[in-house]
Amino acid sequence: MADVGCQTCVELLGEFVERRLPRDDEAAVQAHVDGCKACAELLRDYQELPALLRRATEEDFPLDAELRLRRMVARLRRRR
């Protein structure tokens, strides 16, 4: 399968993390992430996000979560 590219990869990342993608798409995203450092970092942030958000509902929004979210948004913006 052709490389999905960063744009599509980012769009699918949320579903990829939740394992809701069809197998073909999941494989395509995985292949892209394996070869793209920027998307690999983004994937890591996504994977940590649920834990960060869970903590955020239990206590005050943790500062490191806020910083990470800001970084994620900055990265997505730069990509356009």
Applying CB under 5 A, which residues contact Zn ion?
Answer: 6, 9, 36, 39
Taking the complex as a whole, how short is the minimal distance between the CB of residue 10 and Zn ion, in angstroms?
Answer: 7
Minimum CB distance to Zn ion smaller for 26 or for 62: 26
Tell me the C-alpha distance between 65 and 70, whole Å: 9
Contact 52, 60 (CB under 8 A): no
The distance of closest approach from Cβ of residue 38 to Zn ion in the complex, given in angstroms and rounded to an integer, is 5
Q: Provide, rounded to whole angstroms, the least separation between the CB of residue 11 and Zn ion.
A: 11
How many other CB atoms are found less than 10 A from the CB of residue 39? 22
